[in-house]
Amino acid sequence: MILVVDVGNTNIVVGAMTGTDLIGGWRMSSQPPRTSDEYGVLMLEFLEQNNIKVSDIDDIIMSSVVPDIMYSLINSFKKYFNITPIIVGPGLKTEIDIRTENPKEVGADRIVNVVAGYKLHGGPAIVIDFGTATTYDVVTEDGKFIAGITSPGIRICADALWERAAQLPKFEIKKPENILDARNTITSMQAGLVYGYIGEVEYIVKKVKEELGREDLKVIATGGLGKIIQEGTEVIDIYDPLLTMKGLSIIYDKNKK
């Protein structure tokens, strides 16, 4: 059993995996930063809740887009698990050929998602991650990562409404059943945010298919708020909330073998 750890701008997502099967998973906020002891104690508590012993963990692999917390997090694994984690980055085998102008600029989380999408579902594909930012990453039939589109995440858009318009209240991010249900302030904001975001997703997918000349392009989505979008559109073929964890496990297997 291995631990897979995805460090994002909002959350640290941790999973205990056997192959691509999730044995137990949990998340904690990545802000504010914690000490190595705080991370270590939290990890041990999570394991205990899932009836997993430290001795059950054979190895750890991590991807991160938050460099500032990596020192404490890596040291927590060294101290509490006696394991130096594998970090996704240059030098690891992924079998994905990154063809962007500067491959080193591509976030580790995006590489992990593309690996999982391509390995599990094939290409050509566009892998959409509904995270702090929403990312659209395009992989060809022969495993080339050729383009990555980035837009503000749905929660960032909601935050902008709350922060920039003093009289608008905070609201739950959910899709009204019909857009014409927007008959009060809350449903008005929900309809504009969610239906507007669905429109963004559909248009970007349409343009990628058009410019690639592949109407058979698979559309694979992940990320916590992706389910809301997936339920409101037919352009998403596959929604897999565990895609990043599966990608980390796949990369681990490729490198250990």
Tell me the whole-structure pTM to 2 decimals: 0.89
Q: Is residue 196 part of a domain?
A: yes
| Residue positions annotated with a catalytic role | 109
Q: Which residues pair with 137 in a beta bridge?
A: 127, 148
Name the 3-class secondary structure at 222: strand
**Cβ-contact 229, 151 below 8 angstroms:** no
Label residue 197 by pLDDT band (50, 70, 90): very high
Domain end point (choices 24, 55, 87): 87
- Claim to verify: residue 117 and residue 82 sit in the same structural domain: no
Rounded Cα distance, 70 and 4, in Å: 14
Query: Count H helices, E strands: the chain?
Result: 7, 11
- Claim to verify: residue 23 and residue 128 sit in the same structural domain: no
- Claim to verify: residue 63 and residue 21 sit in the same structural domain: yes
Domain that holds residue 166: 97-248
Checking if the pLDDT of 14 tops 90, the result is yes
- Claim to verify: residue 148 and residue 243 sit in the same structural domain: yes
- Claim to verify: residue 76 and residue 142 sit in the same structural domain: no
Rounded Cα distance, 186 and 249, in Å: 41
Q: Say how many domains are in the chain.
A: 2
128-143 pLDDT tens trace: 999 889 999 999 999 9
67-105 pLDDT tens trace: 888 999 999 999 999 999 999 988 888 889 998 888 888
- Claim to verify: residue 123 and residue 243 sit in the same structural domain: yes
Checking if the pLDDT of 166 tops 90, the result is no
221-256 pLDDT tens trace: 999 889 999 999 999 999 999 999 999 999 999 998
CB atoms within 10 A of CB 219: 24
